């Protein structure tokens, strides 16, 4: 399988790229290095420095992925409140841009890195079921909710198999605690 991982120089994306390579898959990493580190990209992966808000058609055409893992994001909740336009550009428009490029190049599957806690806001329902109402308490949470909705639209309109993973409290090696 050929996989493309956005945010593949970051915490979660670099581990994902490594695991895919160990399993024998061909991996292309796309990262703008705004937070990620080039040194975290596995040597066996093809690396392309690019912003998800930019032109991705050529990258997807060259990589011909069977699956896109979209891990790239603006993850700082405080920054999302201070600069909602930036947060929206990266987390909503960047996701839509990538989905559009996937539709144009006929990428069949798309896995989106969403957020568990940010979507539901403060809730006493622990564990929180996916059926719980989404009440984001930040621009970051609202952006993740909007991106999930766009993913569902692209699934219905273009036939892209879309799944959102609602990560919560991920930690481990290579973690950057500034998010």
Residue 175 lies in a domain: no
User: Tell me: the pLDDT tens digits for 93-150?
Assistant: 999 999 999 999 999 999 999 998 888 888 888 888 888 899 999 999 999 999 999 9
pLDDT over threshold 70, residue 179 = no
Cα–Cα distance measured from residue 72 to residue 14, given in angstroms and rounded to the nearest whole number? 11
Could you list the residue range(s) of the whole structural domain that residue 148 is in?
A: 2-167
C-alpha distance from residue 15 to each of 7, 123, 158, 171 (Å): 11, 30, 29, 12
pLDDT, tens digit (0-9, with 9 covering 90-100), for 54-86:
999 999 999 999 999 999 999 999 999 999 999
Identify the pLDDT of residue 178. Answer: 58
- Residue 177 has what pLDDT? 65
Segments of the chain assigned E as strands:
2-6, 26-31, 46-49, 67-70, 109-115, 161-167
- Select the more confidently predicted residue: 134 or 30: 30
The answer to the question of residue 123 being in a domain is yes
Long-range contact list for 62-65, CB < 8 A, 24+ apart?
63/2, 63/4, 63/28, 64/2, 64/105, 65/2, 65/3, 65/4, 65/28, 65/107
In a domain? residue 158: yes
Domain count, the chain: 1
Residue that has been written with the tokens 């896109």 in this structure? 68
Q: What is the pLDDT of residue 72?
A: 98
**25 is a domain residue:** yes
* Residue in 120, 140, 150, 154 annotated catalytic: 140
In a domain, 177, yes or no: no
Mean pLDDT to the nearest integer, 153-164: 99
171 is a catalytic site residue: no
Alpha-carbon span 41 to 148, nearest angstrom? 26
Domain of residue 109, CATH code: 3.40.50.720
If pLDDT is split at 50, 70 and 90, which confidence band does 176 have?
confident
Separation of alpha carbons 162 and 151, rounded Å: 6
Q: Which of helix, strand or coil describes residue 46? A: strand
pLDDT score, position 85: 97
Residue 176 resides in a domain: no
* Pick from 152, 166, 116: nearest CA to 136: 116
Answer yes or no: is 72 within a domain.
yes
The whole model's pTM is what?
Answer: 0.94
Average pLDDT over residues 138-167: 97
């Amino acid at each position: 399988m050929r996989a493309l991982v956005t945010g593949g120089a970051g915490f979660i994306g670099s581990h994902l790229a490594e695991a895919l390579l160990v399993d024998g898959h061909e991996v292309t990493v796309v990262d703008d290095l705004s937070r990620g580190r080039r040194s975290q990209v596995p040597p066996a992966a093809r690396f392309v420095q690019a912003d998800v808000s930019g032109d991705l058609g050529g990258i997807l055409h060259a990589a011909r992925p069977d699956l896109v893992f979209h891990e790239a994001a603006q993850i700082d909740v405080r920054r999302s409140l201070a600069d909602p336009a930036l947060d929206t550009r990266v987390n909503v428009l960047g996701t839509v841009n990538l989905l559009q490029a996937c539709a144009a190049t006929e990428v069949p599957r798309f896995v989106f890195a969403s957020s568990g806690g940010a979507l539901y806001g403060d809730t006493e329902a622990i564990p929180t079921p996916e059926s719980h109402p989404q009440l984001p308490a930040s621009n970051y949470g609202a952006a993740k909710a909007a991106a999930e909705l766009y993913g569902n639209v692209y699934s219905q309109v273009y036939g892209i198999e879309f799944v959102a993973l609602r990560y919560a409290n991920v930690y481990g090696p290579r973690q950057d605690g500034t998010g």
